[in-house]
């Protein structure tokens, strides 16, 4: 069973609504989708563009599914870890999210979650407390990544809250 809908609701809780913060390198954003990503999606799918302020759940859900969830193989990831990797993919890119887990579990770090990564995660899943430990370490490394960014002073409180809340929810999902 896919956790996509549940995970997307949690991601959107953190992404919030419309923002156009001058210090945000993503620029104009609504429900976590940047204007550039939304415009590209509309062009590729022959959709009429809405004003960024008018986006709704149904406008962004297919973008999240294709560009983030499917790219990190969310349906194939262990419960809880799917949320962490998906949320980080949304926030920092699918390649970075995949590379972080790959480096952690000692598989080839290529930025694409595939059979070898999934097989290695399956071994953790079989251990008692294994996925919980992976989630905690993944989130710890994710927090360290945010703290290394020059924009941490501006956005760090929100990122830290996001990591903390995602960690709690992810461990409950196991």
Mean pLDDT (whole number) for 153-166: 96
Contact call for residues 131 and 81 (beta carbons, < 8 A):
yes
Mean pLDDT (whole number) for 99-103: 98
Asked whether the predicted pLDDT for residue 92 surpasses 90, the reply is yes
User: What CA–CA distance (Å, rounded) separates 28 from 15?
Assistant: 13
Asked whether the predicted pLDDT for residue 18 surpasses 60, the reply is yes
pLDDT at 129 (0 to 100): 64
User: What CA–CA distance (Å, rounded) separates 97 from 5?
Assistant: 19
Asked whether the predicted pLDDT for residue 53 surpasses 60, the reply is yes
């Amino acid at each position: 069973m896919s956790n996509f809908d549940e995970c997307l609701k949690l991601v959107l809780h953190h992404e919030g609504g419309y923002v156009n913060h001058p210090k945000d390198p993503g620029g104009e954003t609504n429900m976590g989708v940047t204007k550039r990503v939304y415009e590209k999606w509309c062009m590729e799918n022959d959709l009429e563009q809405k004003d960024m302020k008018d986006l709704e759940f149904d406008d962004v859900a297919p973008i999240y599914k294709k560009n983030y969830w499917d790219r990190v193989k969310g349906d194939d990831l262990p419960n809880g870890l799917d949320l962490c990797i998906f949320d980080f993919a949304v926030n920092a890119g699918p390649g970075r999210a995949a590379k972080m887990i790959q480096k952690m579990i000692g598989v080839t770090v290529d930025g694409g979650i595939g059979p070898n990564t999934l097989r290695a995660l399956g071994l953790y899943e079989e251990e008692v407390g294994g996925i919980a430990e992976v989630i905690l370490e993944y989130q710890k490394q994710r927090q360290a990544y945010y703290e290394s960014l020059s924009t941490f002073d501006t956005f760090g409180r929100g990122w830290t809250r996001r990591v903390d809340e995602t960690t709690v929810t992810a461990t409950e999902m196991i």
